[in-house]
């Protein structure tokens, strides 16, 4: 399988993958906000969001999984031997990259607690560092992809925390310790997630406002805001117990 070096991730042809990419990107952005790890001027890593979303999409494609399976290994010695025998710098880069990516998703999405996997963390950092270095050697400069891989090597814990939180909040349909090749129905579940995201966002806003209400706030228009959010929730999620909250906030609160 060919893989363009000037793109940060493998792109599956077709509109379905674009829709899936959009859902995953939104999921990652919302997760980062929850963790207070949003992109900022000091930590400008929007490109990493793109890399992570594209990587997750690529793991849906059986062709991609078959292509990388021939160079994946859980042992450093196998990786170093494969690199030593690589035809050129491109193949050496590819070996480091896909093994680093596989560790990232295995720990962040598909595997056990990454905090308990210090050896794998060290391996991942090293593989991303070498992948970035081979990018520079091939092009004679620091490429956009090399910058992303340098960020992943330097901020491994940050990005694993984002993936783990995303898995817990949004990818709950993935069984613990599932193997990537066993992700049957992943795309269909993401389509359902795409429909659920707007309702979840409104629910978060409602619960934040409701928390303020319970503290006795006399904030102007707070009651109307709560009622409006409840109506939106009933429209987006008919199963949400809106009536339970209506009984509580149905009357105007006097200052």
Encode the chain in three state secondary structure: CCCCCCCCCCCCCCHHHHHHHHHHHHHHHHHHHHCCCCCCCCCCCHHHHHHHHHHHHHCCCHHHHHHHHCCCCCCHHHHHHHHHCCCCHHHHHHHHHHHHHHHHHHHHHHCCCHHHCHHHHHHHHHHHHHHHHHHHHHHCCCCHHHHHHHHHHHCHHHHHHHHHHHHHHCCCCCCCCCCHHHCCCHHHHHHHHHHHHHHHHHHHHHHHHHHHHHCCCCCCCHHHHHHHHHHHHHHHCCCCCHHHHHHHHCCCCCC
Instruction: Report which of residues 13 and 138 the model is more confident about.
Output: 138
- pLDDT in the model for residue 169: 82
- pLDDT in the model for residue 24: 84
- pLDDT in the model for residue 115: 60
- pLDDT in the model for residue 214: 74
Per-residue pLDDT reduced to its tens digit, 18-62: 777 888 888 898 899 889 888 776 678 889 999 999 898 888 777
- pLDDT in the model for residue 52: 93
Mean pLDDT of 232-254: 66
Mean pLDDT of 218-230: 78
Question: Cβ(166)–Cβ(39) under 8 Å?
Answer: no
Cα separation, 232 vs 206, in Å, equals 10
Instruction: Report which of residues 18 and 74 the model is more confident about.
Output: 74
Q: Domain coordinates of the chain in residue numbers?
A: 15-184, 190-249
- pLDDT in the model for residue 5: 43
- pLDDT in the model for residue 85: 93
Name residues whose C-beta falls within 8 Å of residue 148's C-beta, 6 or more positions apart in sequence: 8, 47, 48, 51
- pLDDT in the model for residue 227: 83
Instruction: Report which of residues 232 and 183 the model is more confident about.
Output: 232
Instruction: Report which of residues 86 and 8 the model is more confident about.
Output: 86
Global pTM value: 0.66
Residue 3: band (very low, low, confident or very high) from pLDDT cuts 50, 70, 90: very low
Instruction: Report which of residues 45 and 181 the model is more confident about.
Output: 45
- pLDDT in the model for residue 39: 78
- pLDDT in the model for residue 182: 46
């Amino acid at each position: 399988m060919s893989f363009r070096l000037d793109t940060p991730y493998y792109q599956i042809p077709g509109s379905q993958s674009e829709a899936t990419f959009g859902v995953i990107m939104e999921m990652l952005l919302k997760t980062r906000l929850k963790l207070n790890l949003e992109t900022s001027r000091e930590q400008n890593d929007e490109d990493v969001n793109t890399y992570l979303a594209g990587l997750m999409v690529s793991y849906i494609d059986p062709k991609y999984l078959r292509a990388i399976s021939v160079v994946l290994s859980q042992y450093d010695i196998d990786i170093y031997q494969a690199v030593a025998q690589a035809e050129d710098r491109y193949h050496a880069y590819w070996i480091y990259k896909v093994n680093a990516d596989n560790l990232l998703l295995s720990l962040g999405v598909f595997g056990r607690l990454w905090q308990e996997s210090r050896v794998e963390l060290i391996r991942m950092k090293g593989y991303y560092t070498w992948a970035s270095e081979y990018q520079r050697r091939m092009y004679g400069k620091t490429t956009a992809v090399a910058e992303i891989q340098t960020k992943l090597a330097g901020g491994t814990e940050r990005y694993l925390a984002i993936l783990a939180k995303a898995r817990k909040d949004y990818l709950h349909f993935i069984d613990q310790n599932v193997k990537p090749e066993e992700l049957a129905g992943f795309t269909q579940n993401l389509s359902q997630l795409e429909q659920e995201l707007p309702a979840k966002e409104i629910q978060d806003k409602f619960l934040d406002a409701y928390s303020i209400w319970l503290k006795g706030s006399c904030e102007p228009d707070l009651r109307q805001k709560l009622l409006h959010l409840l109506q939106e929730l009933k429209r987006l999620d008919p199963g949400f117990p809106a009536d339970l909250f209506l009984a509580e906030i149905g009357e105007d609160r006097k200052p």
